[in-house]
Amino acid sequence: MALLISPPELADLRDSGAPVRLLDVRWRLDRPEGRPEYLDGHLPGAVYVDLDHELARKGEPAEGRHPLPTRAALQDAARRWGLRADETVVIYDDVQSVAAARAWWLLSRSGIEDVRVLDGGLRAWIAAELPLETGDVQPRRGDIVLTELTGGVASIDDAAAWPGRGVLLDVRAPERYRGDLEPLDPVAGHVPGAVNLPTVAHLEAGRFRDPAAIRAAFAAAGASDGTPVAAYCGSGITAAHTALAGALAGIDVAVFPGSWSEWSHARGRLVATGPTPQGNVGRA
């Protein structure tokens, strides 16, 4: 099953009359509420998805900034979006498909078979001179049934043990990995043994690189030949983007949803700093 779809391919799919559900997941750290931009212009028929409240839940600081939603809550949200069985779900955002990848990861891991990300997102759609519409879309409530999230999820204990059995990727910017700065969480640094592979390495001009290039980037980080791979970021959003990149390259990537925001709040967890996987180790 295809994981990405280009703007022309999406336009053709819609024109064919195939059942397609479009989800607009605009979110970023400095402006998490994307609804105003959505109302100003979105793909025709796209439903707005609130990442903070529908693709995550409010939890305690020790759970990280974006704990996973319960199955019931995610299913209720998916029904609000109008999702039904046997339709193609296409997700997009306006910043490098990072937020869209979180929705892709949750829905595909919850039993929806045909979930795709619009490669290049809103910007690629506009560049292709395809139409937008304004205002809100309120679809008829769907009846999708989701399964419990199974497989591909790493706990904080899994993350701690992962470097001993495979490759744990820290997909944040290098300066956050090294511990040079930490704008959001109480402690700077990374999980001991983690290797830095920023998720932007898998993009070129806002679109995903070809599978061979992605595989080469993973291999350079030590993830090749069936090595178990897990990824974390700041709060589990960007790590899902790396999971999507891995899937494009045929590499299964588990996601540590709590990521650094959980690790840095957990008492007694070791913290490494510096440019190497070993770094300088202390305690959170």
The 10s digit of each residue's pLDDT in 107-156 is 999 999 999 999 999 999 999 999 999 999 999 999 999 999 878 999 99
In this prediction, residue 279 has a pLDDT band, given cuts at 50, 70 and 90, of low
CA 173, CA 146: separation in Å to the nearest integer? 33
**Cα distances (Å, whole numbers) of residue 153 to 27, 61, 71, 159, 229:** 22, 19, 14, 10, 11
CA 114, CA 67: separation in Å to the nearest integer? 24
- Show Cβ contacts of residue 210 under 8 Å, excluding neighbours closer than 6 positions: none
**Cα distances (Å, whole numbers) of residue 229 to 27, 91, 205, 237:** 26, 25, 26, 17
Q: How far is CA 67 from the centre of its chain?
A: 13
Catalytic, 233? Answer: yes
Rounded average pLDDT over 41-52: 98
Q: Is the pLDDT of residue 255 over 60?
A: yes
**3-class SS at 230?**
strand
Q: Give the gyration radius of the chain's Cα atoms.
A: 18
Q: How far is CA 282 from the centre of its chain?
A: 29
Q: Is 187 exposed, middle or buried (0-12, 13-18, 19+ CB in 10 A)?
A: middle
pLDDT tens digits, one per residue of 163-206: 999 999 999 999 999 999 999 999 999 999 999 999 999 999 99
Query: Which domains are seen in the chain, by residue range?
Result: 4-127 (3.40.250.10), 156-283 (3.40.250.10)
DSSP 71-88: HHHHHHHHHHTT--TT-E
What confidence score (pLDDT) does residue 61 get? 85
Please answer whether residues 119 and 101 qualify as being in contact, where contact means their C-beta atoms are separated by less than 8 angstroms: no
What confidence score (pLDDT) does residue 32 get? 75
CA 78, CA 150: separation in Å to the nearest integer? 18
Lookup: tokens for 195: 């290797």
Selecting among 55, 233, 240, 244, the annotated active-site residue is 233
**3-class SS at 281?**
strand
What confidence score (pLDDT) does residue 284 get? 59
